């Protein structure tokens, strides 16, 4: 494994299991907008909100942005804490921090919500920077979020940075930003999905991820 010193973590499906809150907010939004949930709701876990409303609900761009607002209204009051930290995550972060890694979060969730979630669960102290989508509609793609986070970390060399996430959009976004990605199997994606998208490494558990990184 290449020697990495900067680790960017996805949030949903990587640090916390937020599926309950996400699904409740999508159902609420579908009801308000008069739309139907997709046949396989699992596809909604991971991609940016606007992209999901266009791709899986058949909305045009303008309607999708209205749906994002409805979703975020519920998420900001109820959904964000319908959530829990995966077992082994605090221990993994502690080990990595103690061993000198620079840690940050790069999520397509609105940054203001990501900050509140990580503070609530006592994880924010591990991260040098927490970056996410802008509440104003900016930074909607994973690549944009990654580039924003790296800018705020002093633009470290790309070959020293590793993205860590559970879905194909984490892998694709990292590759587009010029960095590699470790796919994790405790979240919402499959090993096949991650491998086909080009994940450089696969970790089965948080402890396994720490083991791989500490063995560099």
Contact 174, 192 (CB under 8 A): no
**Residue 205: CATH number of its domain:** 3.40.50.1000
Q: Where in the sequence is the domain holding 47, given as residue range(s)?
A: 19-81
CB atoms within 10 A of CB 65: 16
Verify that 12 and 51 share a domain, yes or no. no
**Confidence at residue 140, expressed as pLDDT on a 0 to 100 scale:** 87
Q: Which residues are catalytic?
A: 10
Verify that 92 and 126 share a domain, yes or no. yes
- Indicate whether 188 belongs to any domain: yes
**Confidence at residue 121, expressed as pLDDT on a 0 to 100 scale:** 95
**Confidence at residue 169, expressed as pLDDT on a 0 to 100 scale:** 94
For strand 84-85 and strand 16-17, is the pairing parallel, antiparallel, or unpaired? Answer: antiparallel
- Indicate whether 1 belongs to any domain: no
Q: Which two tokens stand for residue 1?
A: 């494994």
Mean pLDDT in consecutive groups of 10 residues from the start of the chain, 216 residues: 92 95 96 95 89 96 96 92 96 97 96 95 98 90 97 97 97 98 96 97 98 94
Task: Please name the residue ranges forming H helices in 5-162.
Answer: 19-33, 49-57, 61-77, 89-98, 111-120, 142-152
Verify that 25 and 102 share a domain, yes or no. no
Question: Distance between CA atoms of 46 and 172, rounded to whole angstroms?
Answer: 12
**Confidence at residue 195, expressed as pLDDT on a 0 to 100 scale:** 96
**Which of the listed residues 55, 81, 107 is the one where a domain comes to its end?**
81
**Confidence at residue 48, expressed as pLDDT on a 0 to 100 scale:** 86
């Amino acid at each position: 494994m290449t020697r990495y010193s900067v680790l960017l973590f996805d949030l949903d499906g990587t640090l916390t299991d937020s599926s309950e809150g996400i699904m409740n907010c999508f159902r609420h939004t579908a009801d308000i907008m008069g739309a139907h949930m997709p046949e396989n709701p699992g596809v909604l876990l991971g991609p940016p909100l606007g992209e999901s409303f266009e791709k899986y609900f058949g909305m045009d761009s303008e309607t999708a942005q209205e749906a994002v607002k409805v979703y975020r209204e519920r998420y900001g009051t109820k959904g964000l804490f319908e959530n829990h930290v995966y077992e082994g995550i605090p221990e993994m972060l502690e080990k990595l921090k103690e061993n000198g890694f620079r840690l940050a979060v790069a999520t397509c969730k609105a940054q203001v919500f990501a900050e509140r979630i990580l503070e609530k669960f006592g994880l924010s102290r591990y991260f040098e920077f927490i970056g996410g989508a802008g509440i104003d509609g900016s930074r909607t793609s994973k690549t944009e979020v990654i580039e924003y986070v790296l800018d705020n970390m002093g633009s470290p060399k790309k070959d020293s940075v590793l993205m860590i996430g559970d879905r194909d959009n984490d892998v694709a976004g990292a590759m587009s930003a010029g960095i590699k990605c470790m796919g994790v199997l405790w979240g919402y994606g499959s090993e096949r999905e991650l491998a086909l998208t080009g994940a450089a490494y696969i970790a089965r558990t948080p402890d396994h991820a720490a083991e791989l990184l500490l063995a560099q």
